[in-house]
Structure formats: structure tokens, C-alpha cells
Amino acid sequence: MDQEQILARITSMVDDERMLRDALASGQIDSTTEHERLGELERELDQCWDLLRRRRAKTEFGENPDEAQAQPISQVEGYLD
């Protein structure tokens, strides 16, 4: 994925988060369903942000950003702040 595709995916997932919150507020889904799906979205978002940072770092240091690879969610979630 290139930078524009990653950003489009992030935007799409943020929209999905809003729709989930609206669906919960309107009673279309229960809080368990919302919580599970939000957790999935958050992990996927973290993965996309990580890939975007990797691509930008490669560009900054004169490397090919297309060589950046998405890391497994388990690895991304294991990073320390």
C-alpha cells in the first residue's frame, strides 16, 4: 500500500468507528458487539499507523518506502510507549 491508500484505509476505519458508536446509541447493536468490533478496528488502525510511520522513515532516510512492510498486529501491539 502506498501512503494515500494507507490514509484512505485509516479514514475508512475511523468512519467505521463512528458508525459503530452510532449503532450502539440507536440500539442497533449491543455494547459487547461494539466493544469487540472497536477492539478489532483499534488494532488494525495501530497497524496502519505503524506502516505509515515506517514508510515515512524510509523516505526520510533516502530509502524506498515501498520496501516497508506491515508488521503483525501482535508485534505492533507489543510496542512500548
How many domains does the structure of the chain reveal? 1
Domain extent for 67: 3-77
Q: Which amino acid is at 15?
A: D
Confidence category of residue 36, pLDDT binned at 50, 70, 90: very high
Task: Give the pLDDT of residue 67.
Answer: 95
Confidence category of residue 79, pLDDT binned at 50, 70, 90: confident
Q: How many CB atoms lie within 10 A of CB 24?
A: 17
Q: What is the mean pLDDT of the chain?
A: 93
User: Which pTM was predicted?
Assistant: 0.84
Beta carbons within 8 Å of 59's beta carbon, 6+ residues apart: 65
Three-class secondary structure of residue 37 per DSSP: helix
Asked if 24 and 34 count as a contact pair (C-beta separation under 8 A), the reply is: yes
Q: What is the DSSP letter of 62?
A: T
